[in-house]
Amino acid sequence: MGKFELSHRPYTFPATFRLRINTMSSSTLSSISVAHPNLADANGVAPHGQTITSEPLLRVRNLCKYFPIKSKGIISRVIGKVKAVDNASFDLYPGETLGLVGESGSGKTTCARTILRALSPTSGTAHFRAKDPSAPGGHRVVDLATLPDRDLKPLRTQMQMIFQDPYSSLNPRMTVGDIISEPLLIHNIGTPAERKDKVVAILRKVGLKPEHMNRYPHAFSGGQRQRIGIARALIMRPSLVVADEAVSALDVSVQAQVINLLMDLQQEFNLTYIFVAHNLSVVRHICNRVAVMYAGRIVELAETEELFSNPRHPYTQGLMAAEPNIDPDIPMQFALAGEVADTGNLPPGCAFHPRCPKKFAPCDKQEPVLQKVAPSGCQASCHLLTPPAGS
Amino acid sequence: MPTATLPASTSTVQAPSGAVSPCALRIENLKTHFMTDDGAIPAVDGVSLSLSRGKVLAIVGESGCGKSVTSYSILRLIRPPGQIVDGSIMYYPGDGTRPIDIAKLNEKSDDLYRVRGGYISMIFQEPMTALSPVHTVGNQISEAILLHQKLTPAQAREKAIEMLRKVGIPGAERRIDQYPHEMSGGMRQRVVIAMALVCDPDILIADEPTTALDVTIQAQILKLIKDLQASRGTSVVFITHDLGVVAQIAHDVAVMYLGRVVENGSVRQVLKSALHPYTQALLKSIPSLGTRGARLPAIRGSVPSLTNIPPGCPFHPRCEHAVRGRCDVGGPPALRTFTGNRKAACVRIEEIHPTVRELTAAEVAAADTLAAEVTAAPAGRHNH
C-alpha cells in the first residue's frame, strides 16, 4: 500500500497512522486519562488487535505545569501561579514527528521538558510505551508523570533531548568522546573499549570522523557541534527524541544539513520526534503533525499539510501570516497586534481574545475547549469553530 | 533643477522604475581587519556598496560574513584590535553640503560626534543589552536629544514622549519613567527604535533588529520601520540573515560571504533570479512548499574560518559550479557588473547564466558618472 507514497516522500509517516489519529475524538480522549490508565484498554482509541506500531508511543492527557508566584519578603507566600502548560493532551505515534510551535512564552519548551520529567508536572498523565524485554510483548506502558525517580532513571535511555544552543550545551572542558560516551557511563553500559566503539559508530552516523573524538568542542563549528549534540542524544538508541529548537541557532546553509541528518536518522533508527520550533517553514518541512500553543495551551492540532493549507484557529492564521515570505511579491500581513498573554495573569475566557481579530460575544467569558472541528481529525479550541451552547 | 532631467535618461541603466535615486552612503573597498597574535583577520575585506537615498539596503549573509562589522565600521564603532585599514565611507548629507569620509574622520572630531547618533544612528540586535538597565527609558532617549539638539530637558522629555507614541508604545507618558526590565522584548525594541529615530537621522542602520523577537512581534517591528522609513524618507541599511525579512523590507540587497560582497542588486533580481552560485544555493536550502518531506539541497561543508580563507574564490570548496584551475587559484574574483546593473563576484557567471552579459567598462563608467553627478548636485531630499 503506502509504497508509492513512501517512494515519493520518504520521510512522511505511513498512512495507517494517520487513519488512527482521524478516529480520535476529544470526548473519548478526556475520559481515558482518568478511567483507563492502561493504553491497550483505551476504549475506541487503541483497541486490541491493532498492529503494534499503531499504538501511540506517548499519550499525554491533561498535562499541567504550574509555577508558583511568591510574594517578596522573608516569609514568602504563594500568591499566584504561572500556568506555563495547561491541559495539554496529544498522542505521539512511533516514527512520526510532532511539531510544537508558538511564540516565546507559549509553553512549548516547558511542555516538552515536563514530558521528559526534566520538570515535574503539576497534574496530568504522560503514558509512555517503554521498551522492556522482560514484559509480555516487549513493551510496558508507564506514566512518566507519576513515576518515582528511581524507576525513571533506566527509562531515560529511551528518551533523549537535543538542545538549541550548540555552544552552551556542550561542556568546553570535556572532549567530544567524553561528551558522547557520558550517557553510557551514567547508565553503566559496556566496557571502555565497547563504549569507544559505540562512539566511533555514532560519530560516523552523524557525519563526523572518529578522529574528532579527542578534540574539544571549541574546535568545531556551530553545525558540527549540533551534530555532537545529536550523537550524544542518539548513542543510547532512544525511541523518543525531543529536539528543542535544534536548528534555530544555525545558519541557513548548515541548518539544511542538520535537518537532512535528523530526517535520515529518524528513518534509520525509527525515531519519534517532538520538534519544538518557532520557524514555521522548518516545521512544515519536517513534521507530520503540528500542535500550535498559545499561553500554555494547545489551540490547534492538525496534520501539517492541513494546518498550513487551512489554518482554522485565528491565532494559527495570524502566526502564519506574520511569517515573512521569501517572495517579495507576497507581502507579509500584520494580523496580530499586541503580545503573548502573561501566563501568570491570563485574561478571562479565551486567553487569545485580546489579540484576536475575530472575537465575539462569548470569547471574553467562556474558555473554549480543544475539540475536533473537522472530519480529518483537526482539533482546535475556538468559539468561532464550535460555538458554545446558548450563544 | 539640473537633476530633474536625469532620471529619464538613465532609467535603462539604473532601476526599471525610472527614477534615479541619489546616493546617501557609498562605501568603497572597505577593509576592516582585526589584528591578532595570529595575524590580521580580514573580517571585512574590500566591500563596496552604495545606499540610495530613501531606500532600504539589506546586507545579508551567514554568521562570520562581515555584515555586522561593516555596519559597525560605518559608525566607526570598531574597537581595537579591530581597525579600518583601507577604503572610504562617503556620507552625502541630505542637505546637499559636502560629503564626509567617515573612515578618515578623527576619532575625537566634532564631525564624528555629529555623524554618530545625529546623521546616522543605529538599532542594535539585542534590545536588553542596547539599553542601560539603570536609567529610565525617558532619560536614555532624552540623552540623545540633548547631545544633538539645542533643547531644554523639559522639551527633550516632551519630544521623547512624542517619539514613544510614534513607535506605538501605549501609555507613553507612563512608560517613559519605566526601566527597560519592566518592558517586554518587543516594547524594548520599540524604545531602541525611538532612541535611534529621535534625532531624525538621515541614515538608519538596523543590525538584526528583529532576530531576537517572535515572528508576530517581528512583523510589527518590520512594519514600524517600514512606515517610519517611508514617512521620513530615511535611508536604511538593514543587516539580517533572514532572506524572508529581506524580501519584505528591502529595495536593494547585498549578499556577503567571508568578508566580501558576492552579489548586489535589487531585491527582485537577487531573490527571484540570483546570479551568484552562493546566493542560489542559499535560496535553495530554505525549506519551502515544494521540498516538504524530501531532502533539502544543503550547501556542503560549513563557512570556513576567517583565519583560513580558501585561495581563489572563497566559496569554491562549497560551490557546485566550481572548476579546478579557475575557481581555486589567484585572489578572490572581482565584483563585476552585469546586464540590469547588477553585480556578482564569480568568474563563471556567463557560463552559468548564458543570457547575462558583463557590462563594458564604458557602460559601467557611464552608469557611475550619472549616479555621481546626481549625488554631487545639491538636490536636497528627492523622495520627500
Could you read off the pLDDT of B29-80 as tens digits, one per residue?
999 999 998 889 999 999 999 999 999 999 999 888 999 999 999 999 999 8
Instruction: Provide the residue ranges of all domains of chain A, joining segments of one domain with +.
Output: 3-70+78-325
Q: Name the residue with higher pLDDT: B25 or B8.
A: B25
Domain map (residue ranges) of chain B: 126-200
Judged by CB atoms closer than 8 Å, whether chains meet at A281 and B283 is answered as: no
* B125 band by pLDDT with thresholds 50, 70 and 90: confident
pLDDT, average across residues B117-139: 88
β-bridge mates for residue B344, sequence order: B263, B336
Instruction: Tell me how far CA of residue A303 lies from CA of A15, A283, A285, A380, B370, in angstroms.
Output: 12, 11, 12, 12, 56
User: What are residue A81's phi and psi, to 5 degrees?
Assistant: -140, 145
CA distance A338 to A278: 18
Classify residue A48 by burial, with Cβ atoms within 10 Å: 0-12, 13-18, 19+.
Answer: exposed
Residue A324 with chain B: CB contacts under 8 Å:
215, 218-219, 222, 242, 244-245, 247-248
- The residue in chain B having the minimum alpha-carbon distance to the alpha carbon of residue A281 is B287
A-chain CB neighbours of B269 within 8 Å are: none
Strands B203-207 and B235-240: parallel
Q: Which of A252, A299, A305 to mutate to test the interface with B (most CBs of B within 10 A)?
A: A252
Chain A residues in contact with B282 by the CB 8 A cut-off are: 252-253
CB contact under 8 A, B286 and A337: no
Phi-psi region for residue A377, left (φ > 0), alpha (ψ -120 to 50) or beta? left
Size of interface A-B (CB pairs under 8 A): 135
Angle at A25 between CA A21 and CA A30, to 5 degrees: 115
How far B149 CA lies from chain A's nearest CA (Å)?
Answer: 33
A2 touches chain B (CB under 8 A): no
Q: With an 8 Å Cβ cutoff, are B302 and A223 in contact?
A: yes
Residues from chain A that touch B287, judged by Cβ atoms under 8 A, are: 256, 259, 281-282, 284-286
Q: Tell me, what's the pLDDT at B350?
A: 93
Distance to chain A for B220, nearest Cα, Å: 6
Query: Cβ separation of A281 and B286 shorter than 8 Å?
Result: yes
Contacts of A328 in chain B (CB under 8 A): 247-248, 267-268, 271-272
Question: Do B223 and A221 lie within an 8 Å CB cutoff?
Answer: no
Check whether B16 has a pLDDT greater than 80.
Answer: no
Q: Compare CB distances from B216 to A10, A103, A223 and report the shortest one's residue.
A: A103
In the prediction, which pLDDT does A267 show? 93
Rounded distance between C-alpha atoms, residue B378 and residue B382, angstroms: 10
Q: How close B210 gets to chain A, by Cα (Å)?
A: 12
Instruction: Using CB atoms, pick whichever of A223, A305, A334 lies closest to residue B223.
Output: A334
Q: What is the distance between the alpha carbons of residues B99 and B121, in angstroms, rounded to a whole number?
A: 17
Interface of A with B in 3-62 (CB under 8 A): 9-12
Name the phi and psi angles at B264, rounded to 5: -150, 130
Domain covering A3-70+78-325, topology: Rossmann fold (3.40.50)
- Say what percent of chain B tops pLDDT 90: 55
For residue B285, the chain A residues in CB contact (below 8 A) are 252-253, 255-256
Helix (H, G, I), strand (E, B) or coil at B348: coil
Cα(A120)–Cα(A115) distance, rounded to whole angstroms?
8
Q: Using CB atoms within 10 A of its CB, is residue B165 exposed (0-12), middle (13-18) or buried (19+)?
A: middle
B351 vs B17: which has the higher pLDDT? B351
CB contact under 8 A, A224 and B302: yes
Q: Per-10-residue mean pLDDT for chain A, 391 residues long?
A: 40 42 39 35 34 76 93 84 93 95 90 94 95 89 93 93 89 95 94 95 93 92 92 95 91 90 94 93 94 95 95 93 89 79 88 92 92 92 82 51
In terms of C-beta density within 10 A (0-12 exposed, 13-18 middle, 19 or more buried), how is residue B301 classed? middle
Least Cα separation, residue A319 to chain B (angstroms): 6
Going by the DSSP 8-state scheme, the letter that residue B290 receives in this structure is G
Nearest CA in chain B to A304: B292
Q: Pick the residue from chain B with its C-alpha nearest to A222.
A: B302
At A23 the pLDDT is 39
- In this prediction, the answer to ipTM > 0.90 reads no
| B-contacting residues in A 269-328 (Cβ below 8 Å) | 278, 280-282, 284-286, 304-305, 318-319, 321-328
| Chain A residues near residue B241 by CB distance under 8 angstroms | 251-252
Residue B251 DSSP symbol:
S
Q: What is the pLDDT of residue B374?
A: 53
Rounded to an integer, what distance in angstroms lies between the CA atom of residue B42 and that of residue B33? 5
| Nearest C-alpha in B relative to A105 | B214
Q: Which three cell numbers stand for residue A77?
A: 507566600
Q: Which of A285, A334, A340 sits opposite B287 (nearest CB)?
A: A285
B216: chain A residues, CB-CB within 8 Å = 103, 318-319, 322, 336
What's at B192, amino acid-wise? Answer: V
* Mean pLDDT, residues B160-165 taken together: 92
pLDDT tens string B246-288: 999 999 999 999 999 999 999 999 999 999 999 999 999 998 8
Cβ contact, residue pair A11, B293, below 8 Å: yes
pLDDT band at B338 (very low <50, low <70, confident <90, very high): very high
Residue A103: closest C-alpha in chain B: B214
Nearest to A252 among B62, B215, B300 (CB): B62
What is the distance between the alpha carbons of residues B17 and B82, in angstroms, rounded to a whole number?
40
Q: What's the confidence (pLDDT) of residue B372? A: 55
Q: Locate the chain A residue with the closest alpha carbon to B186.
A: A339
Q: Tens of pLDDT along B173-220?
A: 889 999 999 888 888 988 999 999 888 899 999 999 888 788 888 888
**What are the phi and psi torsion angles at A70 (to 5°)?**
-105, 150
In a mutational test of the B interface, the residue from A227, A261, A285 whose CB has the highest number of chain B CBs within 10 Å is A285
Q: Which three cell numbers stand for residue B13?
A: 541603466
Give tens-digit pLDDT for A274-317: 999 988 999 999 999 999 999 999 999 999 999 999 999 999 99
Write the secondary structure of chain A as one string of H (helix), E (strand) and C (coil). CCHHHHHHCCCCCCHHHHHHHHCCCHHHHHHHHHHCCCHHHCCCCCCCCCCHHHCCCEEEEEEEEEEEEECCCCCCCEEEEEEEEEEEEEEECCCCEEEEECCCCCCHHHHHHHHCCCCCCCEEEEEEEEECCCCHHHEEEEECCCCCHHHHHHHHHHEEEECCCCCCCCCCCCCHHHHHHHHHHHCCCCCHHHHHHHHHHHHHHCCCCHHHHHCCHHHCCHHHHHHHHHHHHHCCCCCEEEEECCCCCCCHHHHHHHHHHHHHHHHHHCCEEEEECCCHHHHHHHCCEEEEEECCEEEEEEEHHHHHHCCCCHHHHHHHHHCCCCCCCCCCCCCCCCCCCCCCCCCCCCCCCCCCCCCCHHHHCCCCCCEECCCCCCEECCCCCCCCCCC
Q: What angle do CA A32, A36, A41 make, to 5 degrees?
A: 105
Contacts of A295 in chain B (CB under 8 A): none
- So what's the pLDDT on residue B186? 83
B295–A260 CB contact, under 8 Å: yes
Q: Do A221 and B303 make contact, defined as CB atoms within 8 angstroms?
A: yes
Using the predicted structure, report yes or no on whether residue B140 has a pLDDT greater than 50: yes
Distance from CA of B282 to the nearest CA of A (A): 6
Buried b or exposed e, range A62-100, using 16+ CB within 10 angstroms: bbbbbbeeeeeeeeeeeeeebbbbbbbbbbbbbbbbbbb
